[in-house]
Amino acid sequence: MTEIISSSQNSRVKYLNKLYRSRTRRKEGVFVLEGKRLIEAALAGGADFLEVFLTPAFFKAAENKDLISNLKKCSEVILIEKKLLEKTASTVNPQGIIAVVNEALFKGGEFFSAADKILLLDRIQDPGNMGTMIRTAAGAGFDGIIALKGSVDIYNQKVIRATMGAIFSIPIWQKLSKEDFLKEIKNSTINYELAAADLDAENYYFEHEYSSKLILMIGNEANGLDKELLEKADSRIKIPLSGDIESLNAAQAAAVIAFEISAQAIKSIS
Amino acid sequence: MTEIISSSQNSRVKYLNKLYRSRTRRKEGVFVLEGKRLIEAALAGGADFLEVFLTPAFFKAAENKDLISNLKKCSEVILIEKKLLEKTASTVNPQGIIAVVNEALFKGGEFFSAADKILLLDRIQDPGNMGTMIRTAAGAGFDGIIALKGSVDIYNQKVIRATMGAIFSIPIWQKLSKEDFLKEIKNSTINYELAAADLDAENYYFEHEYSSKLILMIGNEANGLDKELLEKADSRIKIPLSGDIESLNAAQAAAVIAFEISAQAIKSIS
């Protein structure tokens, strides 16, 4: 590992660059992580590392010794010039380290058997919203996320950063179509309550008693939840709004309801 | 109003351009709004308009007739070439209209006498977080926001957009120093409960009974609440977090607690 890549024409660098396009990423089934903190979180979360690119300065720094030794156990570690790494990265300061990680794929029975409380996201567009909802769902004790087709790619750099590492803490099934989701639910042996966040619901979110097997459905920022999903819902709930405020940001609404569900579960135990 | 400004050297255009710098904005005591939706919200919220810049196409469109007639009653309305308007604006698509509005200044006794529930924001950095918290606080029935010195300017374009018009629905006192805030509270005739969101609190946010006169304090994204504010708090509350999630995004935490406070108030009435 004495060689330090310095040319943008190097085949590994060219490959890494291509992974910043979502189409290539999907085809390869991998995603890219930038910065020490995220990569530590990925390691702790048991992510499957393929390649790690480091600057010589990052490699030499005493405080990175443990991380590098752990990464070497599960991944190829490649040295690359600082300028080249920064040119490739999407963040202004990738902190000297970029990793390529296999997508964690969760599907079908395997996904449902491990998930009691699922957050379903219907065509969420904003990467910050998507990332923060992943973080919040994991924090509220949800154990699965379904991001329906039409939502922003969860492996988008902005999404990953907004999760603050939580993307490794919760199984996520993305790019599932609405039709396939409804089939999966119909065929599942688990009888989930489908709860829809809906501005026109009759009941307030805190008046409703949520089932222990639950799928909370949150809709698109501008248009709310898909009509068919709304029709299939077992329960509809709304958040009471004051004054002339017509709606909340989707991620804010998700947080309010997810933590009410969490609070009900905690109260029922104690 | 037959003249259409076409030169970037026009004195009004030069002035408008300068208002995109936060220092000039503060000095002049004004801020800038872009787009029809925000400007309608400002009009409904009783904002004090100074100047409105319109493209000829916006001016001619039948669907804008009412808005323009209302704006003419309270402001100067100026025509400007589309190219020039778009060059000036911070958004890619300002939708043909930019307005200059007087800052709504709320201070001291006037502010407190009208506010039962206040959200205090301590050094919030992210404009999206700031804007979404303003929207959420208004939606949860809070009637005042204090953004302490060190927080992002509430008249930053990204903040204004994230409020989705809510910036006109709730009195906001910004650039107040911590020291002055503590003095104001000490001297106030209103006995507010100071409630602090704190990861190290003993009580869960849903176990606590909030006073009807309340200041909910939310801290900086990375470092949480200032130590002195934490010490002065009457109550400290935390949100229970699952798994390895160490904290929530500041705006998510604010939403969860603000709506618990709102829910308690609704339940106590019904």
State how many domains chain A has: 2
- The partner residue sitting opposite B245, judged by closest CB among A135, A162, A267, is A135
pLDDT at residue A91 in the model: 73
Residue B144's closest CA among B177, B179, B180, B108?
A: B108
Residue B253 has pLDDT above 70, yes or no: yes
User: Given A141, A242, A262, which is nearest B139 (Cβ)?
Assistant: A242
For chain A, list residues with pLDDT below 50: none
| Beta carbons of A166 and B245 less than 8 Å apart | yes
pLDDT at A182: 96
Cβ within 8 Å of residue A129, ≥6 positions away: A221, A249, A250, A251
H or E element, residue B162? helix B157-163
Closest CA in chain A for residue B264: A206
CATH number of the domain that residue A138 is part of: 3.40.1280.10
Contacting residues of A for B239, CB less than 8 Å apart? 139, 259
Domain harbouring A70, CATH code:
3.30.1330.30
Same domain (yes/no): B198, B151: yes
Asked if A255 reaches chain B (Cβ–Cβ under 8 Å), the answer is yes
- A154 and A228 belong to one structural domain: yes
β pairing state of A235-238 and A203-204: parallel
Among B247, B259, B266, B267, the residue to mutate for chain A (most A Cβ within 10 A): B259
Using CB atoms, which residue from B138, B245, B252 is nearest to A251? Answer: B252
H/E element, A97: strand A97-102
E runs forming strands in B106-254: 117-121, 144-148, 172-176, 193-197, 203-204, 214-218, 235-238
Do A140 and A18 fall within a single domain? Answer: no
CB within 8 Å: B248 and A135: yes
Based on the fold, state whether residues A20 and A143 are members of the same structural domain: no
Identify whether residues B147 and B81 lie together within a single domain: no
Distance CA A93, CA A85 (A): 10
Q: What pLDDT, on a 0 to 100 scale, did the predictor assign at position A107?
A: 67
pLDDT of residue B113: 84
Indicate yes or no: CB of A249 within 8 angstroms of CB of B136: yes
Same domain, A183 and A84: no
Among residues B69, B102, B135, the one where a domain terminates is B102
Q: What is the distance in angstroms between the Cα of A13 and the nearest Cα belonging to chain B?
A: 32
Residue A209 three-state SS: coil
pLDDT more than 90, % of chain B: 76
Residues B113 and B154 in one domain: yes
Do B124 and B46 sit in the same domain of this protein? no
Under an 8 A CB cutoff, do A249 and B132 touch? yes
Residues A254 and A239 grouped into a single domain: yes
CB pairs under 8 A between A and B: 98
Q: Which of B70, B8, B42 is nearest to B155 (CA)?
A: B42
| CA-based nearest residue in chain A for residue B206 | A263
Question: Quick one: tokens of A111?
Answer: 């996904």
**Mutate which of A37, A239, A245, A261 to disrupt the B interface (most B C-beta within 10 Å)?**
A245
Query: pLDDT digits over B95-147, tens only?
Result: 899 999 998 766 667 788 889 999 999 999 999 999 999 999 999 999 999 99
A243 vs B267: CB contact, 8 Å cut-off?
A: no
Distance of CA B115 to the CA centre of its chain: 15
- Please identify, among A81, A102, A123, the residue that sits at the C-terminal boundary of a domain: A102
Same domain, B112 and B98: no
Per-residue confidence band for B165, with pLDDT thresholds at 50, 70 and 90: confident
Question: Residue B106 has what pLDDT?
Answer: 67
> B243 in contact with A at a CB cutoff of 8 Å?
yes
**What are the angstrom distances between the C-alpha of B94 and each of A158, B34, B58, B191?**
24, 5, 11, 44
Taking an 8 Å cut-off on Cβ atoms, the answer to whether A139 and B206 are in contact is: no
Q: Is B247 left (phi over 0), alpha (psi -120 to 50) or beta?
A: beta
User: pLDDT value at position B107?
Assistant: 67
Domain boundary among B58, B81, B102: B102
Comparing CB atoms, the residue among B204, B252, B259 nearest residue A136 is B252
Say yes or no to pLDDT of B1 above 70. no
Task: Please state the pTM of the whole predicted model.
Answer: 0.89
Residue A138 and residue A217 in one domain? yes
Contact A252 B136 (CB under 8 A): yes
Give contacts of A244 with chain B, Cβ < 8 Å: 44-45, 169
Q: Name chain A contacts of B261, Cβ cutoff 8 Å.
A: none
Q: How far, in Å, CA of B50 to CA of B75, rounded?
A: 5
d(CA A174, CA A153): 8
Nearest CA in chain B to A222: B164
- Asked whether B70 and B4 are in contact (CB, 8 A), the reply is no
Residue contact B252–A255, C-beta within 8 A? yes
The reply to whether A114 and A163 lie within a common domain is yes
pLDDT band at B211 (very low <50, low <70, confident <90, very high): very high
Question: A239 vs B162: CB contact, 8 Å cut-off?
Answer: no
Q: Strand A193-197 relative to strand A214-218: parallel, antiparallel, unpaired?
A: parallel
The residue range of the domain holding B51 is 4-102
